[in-house]
């Protein structure tokens, strides 16, 4: 199993349990498994929905700013990896 960096967290909304991410190094689609890692965060989750400009989309391309539900608190500049099963 390997992990490829695909982006960083740019904001966290505690009430909504959601984060905005900047996809700097890869694409992301619903169903992908991601890992979010930072100073105090380190967890994996499956992407259940992605939003761009408040519209649900099935996938987002590199360079996009996206919204994502997260199962734990995250922080600005936490790194987002896509988990790749061998």
The class that CATH gives domain 2-84 is mainly beta
Alpha carbons 34 and 66: distance in angstroms, whole number: 14
**Where do the structural domains in the chain lie, given as residue ranges?**
2-84
Check if the beta carbon of residue 8 is closer than 8 Å to that of residue 78.
yes
pLDDT in tens, 6-57: 999 999 999 999 999 999 999 999 999 999 999 999 999 999 999 999 999 9
Cα–Cα nearest to 10, from 24, 23, 27, 22? 22
């Amino acid at each position: 199993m390997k992990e490829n960096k695909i982006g960083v967290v740019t904001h966290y909304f505690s009430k909504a349990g959601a984060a905005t991410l900047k996809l700097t190094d890869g694409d992301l689609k619903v169903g992908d498994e991601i890992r979010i890692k930072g100073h105090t965060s380190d967890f994996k989750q499956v992407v259940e929905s992605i939003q761009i400009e408040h519209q649900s989309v099935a996938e987002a391309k590199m360079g996009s700013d996206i919204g994502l539900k997260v199962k734990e608190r995250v922080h600005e500049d936490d790194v987002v990896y896509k988990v790749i099963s061998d």
